[in-house]
Structure 1
């Protein structure tokens, strides 16, 4: 099973929950796993240095275990666009540095390796490069996480078009019910929800790997396990 790059339709689309859920599903099937977060903003200061909650969730689902700096080489405190957070910290994140970090990790050949992006597909790394170029440089197939909220149909289709136009394979998509304003309790709301999913299934050029419902807030490991119940692993071919 090859490595995959996980991107989203937007910030807070549910990438980490989907990634952790896929890793948990793989672990459940007895596979080795590795979840990576190249660059993360919105990190907290700890005695061990800056730590990002999303990266920690991926680390917890990585077996055999690896240290935090392996998972997340660039962590920044401000919860802003990563390239702006890096600039405030006086750090320049270059594509060459990220490919140099990632290449030996892919050589570990875990049964499932996920590289989670930041924000959407074309989030900048610096003034000249963006994170999508990491997926391109490493020729990683892409998993798209669609935040199921108003506007997601256009966001999902545009992102899928950009991924396929770059020459990368869209290996699958995952729906994530992230909007607390959408309840889908009434029959009419549920019908609309199902219609949206049907539109995504019809228009996105890749299989649906699952739809994660709104989960009760819990410890990251419990949420990953709950998400795993709704996901299928991507086809390696």
Structure 2
């Protein structure tokens, strides 16, 4: 059976610790379990460690472990910066200038690969700067791909999520869906917050990932519905709620 063209999504979060990589790895693993060819791309990553093979970022290596297509590290994470700080500051300290055009070239190269699902993961939230005039949102705009929003479920997440969803829409991009990632196991009124977000975010709830002590992204894949994966792959029509 002939496969459809690869689906590409830009993954963003409500903030730095929303769990973008965890959710991306969960989705990649779930799709792989269902027989799909999966790839990931982290255009720029700060907070890398020196290894015998060069700078390596734990988020990028997690994505590589979760996807089932083999690629060189430099294709998955072409710009690796050592300090665990904002990418534009880390790049400036290294005498490097980040630009949308350069990152777009890396991402477009990945989009030409063969596969079923490609996740391009941003850094931090939607408007993380690349320099004085450009942000990672400008990269997403230049790629013209739909967006998956990871909402880190904690106190304050409602405003962060609604503002991010509004910004994505104003930037002219499709919000394909959102994932509720329970990063705070003791969040007060969790269900009520989830219900409010479900009512106010103008996109399907793809999955609800609970906070389970010691749980890995492999185990979390059990909480990503197959119907949501098929929806993202264009094999099922969207509904009001996928999860």
TM-score, normalised by the number of residues in structure 1: 0.91
Q: Which residue of 2 aligns with 1:226?
A: 219
Q: 2:77 aligns with which of 54, 69, 72?
A: 72
Q: Secondary structure at the match of 1:35?
A: strand
Distance 2:214 2:46 in 1: 21
If asked which structure has higher relative contact order (CA below 8 Å, sep 6+), I would say: 1
Q: 1:176 aligns with which of 173, 177, 181?
A: 181
Q: How does 1:81-230 map to 2 (within 5 A)?
A: 81-179=86-184, 182-183=185-186, 189=188, 192-217=189-214, 223-230=216-223
Shift of 1:3: 0.2
Shift of 1:161: 0.3
Distance 1:217 1:45 in 2: 27
Q: Secondary structure at the match of 1:173?
A: strand
Indicate conservation of the 8 Å contact 2:41/2:110, yes or no: no
Shift of 1:215: 3.3
Instruction: Classify 1:226/1:171 alpha carbon distance in 2 versus 1 (closer, same or farther; 3 Å).
Output: same
Shift of 1:211: 1.3
Distance 1:123 1:14 in 2: 16
Shift of 1:100: 1.1
Shift of 1:77: 1.1
Q: State how many pairs are aligned.
A: 225
Q: Which residue of 1 aligns with 2:29?
A: 24
Distance 1:230 1:121 in 2: 25
Per-residue CA deviation, residues 3-25 of structure 1 (Å, 9 max, x unaligned), is 00000000110000000000001
TM-score, normalised by the number of residues in structure 2: 0.89
- What CA RMSD, in Å, does the superposition of the two structures yield over aligned residues? 1.4
Shift of 1:89: 1.4
Per-residue CA deviation, residues 39-95 of structure 1 (Å, 9 max, x unaligned), is 111111101111000000111122221010000011111111111111111111111
Shift of 1:110: 1.6
Which segments of 5 or more consecutive residues in structure 2 lack a partner in the other structure?
A: 1-5, 238-243
Indicate conservation of the 8 Å contact 2:99/2:131, yes or no: yes
Distance 1:224 1:69 in 2: 23
